[in-house]
Amino acid sequence: MHTVPGIIQGLRDPLGAFLQLLTGVLGHVVSTASGDLSAELSRYLFATVDPTVPGARPLTANPAISHLNLGLSVAADVLVAGVVLYASLRSMFERSISARYTLKVVLPRVLAALALVHGSLFFMQMSIDLNNALGHVALSLGEAVTTGTLPWSASMNPAAVAAIQASQDLFRALFALGVVVGLVILVLAYVVRTALLGVLIVVAPLAALCSVLPETRGYAHTWLRLFMVTVFMQALQLIVLRVATAIGLGGGGGIAGSLYALATLWIMLKVPGALNTASHYETRAHTMAHQVERSVRRAIAPVHAAVHRRVSA
């Protein structure tokens, strides 16, 4: 019986009825997504731990990841013989100045690579612990940061959703939906980050072995750059979150609060790209220095050969 007046009102004002229905649907979506996304963010955002079990177990303590890392460590031990054989053959048959010192350079690098291969889990967990410590320091400066005090919480709480539905404010509902979309992207980024960290931890022994030879050292540098960006992006994002929470412009659930939440999410999502760009500048500088070093060696090669012939004579 209560639906008859609603139908009559809908026939009289179809645009108003449609607006009421649309804001109701959007409000329900925002309200439902708020709880789900808050649970996922509390799982991934504040610390890097093993997400497969409750608590704060280290990521490298995951049995599957540690077992795969151990298997590739054994494979790297077998491949060491091939690396030494290649370096030996290169020192025998390559006609260059650097080839005479190949084994003298490779053997210490092999020993260092073996230490990195078998200590990779320990060293990587140290980096993850450093990231967790930096994030904890950032969050502890000031009032406690929880899922209910984040810059986007006011735009998605039950009071804000009820206000949207009561006022039928479609403009405000769309901005709240934009916040939900931004949070979905952030959660997806952290799920991908956790999966990528697992892959990087597993292949770490091979990356350590690649650091021995100059032909494969670029792969080791790529692994290291990717690992550092993937790990420490969280600490920088938590610093951004701490600053955004301290400023407190997103305290209201209106359009201004939603815009502030969107701005915070945009900056957080830009952090990995900024770190990657900065690491590429460092790699380019290293490459330029290596090219200059090779050019100098080529320039002094004739002089070195002449001196060697004179000494031999």
Q: Can you state the angle between helices 120-140 and 63-93, rounded to 10 degrees?
A: 120
Tokens for 52? 């497969």
| Residue scoring higher pLDDT (7 or 117) | 117
For residue 9, name the pLDDT band (cuts at 50, 70, 90).
Answer: very low
| Residue scoring higher pLDDT (309 or 10) | 309
Tokens for 22? 């649309």
Reference 239, options 276, 209, 268; nearest CA is 268
Kindly list the domain boundaries of the chain, sorted by start residue. Answer: 16-283
pLDDT at 292: 56
- Percent of the chain exceeding pLDDT 70 equals 75
Asked if residue 10 has pLDDT above 50, the reply is no
| Residue scoring higher pLDDT (270 or 283) | 270
For residue 122, name the pLDDT band (cuts at 50, 70, 90).
Answer: very high
pLDDT, tens only, 185-228: 998 999 999 999 999 999 999 999 998 888 888 899 999 999 99
